[in-house]
Amino acid sequence: MGLRILLWVLVDIALVLVMLFVFNIMGIVDIRKTVSGMKNRITNSDVEISSELQDFNILDSERLEQQLKVIKIRDEELALRETELNKLEIELNQRFAKIEEEQKALEEREIEIKKRENNVEERSKTIDRLATRFTSMVPDAAVAIFLEMDDRDLIDIFRVVEERALVEERASLVPVWLSSLPPERAAQIKRKMLSEVN
């Protein structure tokens, strides 16, 4: 069956060629013109295809160029953002370091204040103990010790003794002690006590 079809096709082609040859001899058809026309059409179509390909290549290259420009702009933006982020990171690190320093300074201050409070508290306890001790001593013995003491300590002890005397509603030993001290020292202590009250 396939062989028959092939034979029929070959016969048809042979008939067409014979007819073209006969028409060419009779002058009805000019085979040379027809073939050259077909050749021109094929060449023209090739030219059209190649020009279309060129146009396509130009469009493609323009598209590629545009995409490269966009990528370049994005790269520049990313570089700028990276620079800004680096600046921010440096600034944040500096601030963090400053905050750490301030926190350290505050902690040191707090420790110092606690030490001072402890010292003040300890001093207050010591002054209370000394006031109790001196109150129970013979005035001359107490005055002998006072002569070796600092004015600041004496004034604080005298104040505690006077406050206790007021609370307990009894006479204070401070005037007795002051009268037993050398006059210059007694005057100096009185003057300092009065200036602190005022």
Per residue in 155-181, pLDDT (tens digit) is: 999 999 999 999 988 888 999 999 999
Per residue in 112-125, pLDDT (tens digit) is: 888 888 888 888 89
Count of all residues that appear for the chain in the document: 198
Give residue 4's pLDDT band: very low, low, confident or very high (50, 70, 90): confident
> CA torsion angle for 152, 153, 158, 159 (degrees, to 10)?
70
| Burial class of residue 134 (count of CB atoms within 10 Å of its CB; 0-12, 13-18, 19+) | buried
Query: Which among 131, 195, 197 is positioned nearest to 168, based on CA atoms?
Result: 131
Per residue in 52-72, pLDDT (tens digit) is: 666 667 777 888 888 999 999
How large a percentage of the chain has pLDDT more than 90?
38
The tokens describing 192, both together, are 């300092």
Q: How far is CA 143 from CA 162, 184, 191, in A?
A: 16, 14, 18
For residue 181, the SS3 value is coil
Pairwise CA distance, residues 21 & 16, whole Å: 9
Give residue 6's pLDDT band: very low, low, confident or very high (50, 70, 90): confident
| Burial class of residue 102 (count of CB atoms within 10 Å of its CB; 0-12, 13-18, 19+) | exposed
What is the predicted pLDDT for the residue at 89?
Answer: 92
What is the predicted pLDDT for the residue at 52?
Answer: 60
Give residue 95's pLDDT band: very low, low, confident or very high (50, 70, 90): very high
Pairwise CA distance, residues 35 & 56, whole Å: 31
What is the predicted pLDDT for the residue at 133?
Answer: 93
Give yes or no for residue 48 having a pLDDT over 70.
Answer: no
What is the predicted pLDDT for the residue at 31?
Answer: 72
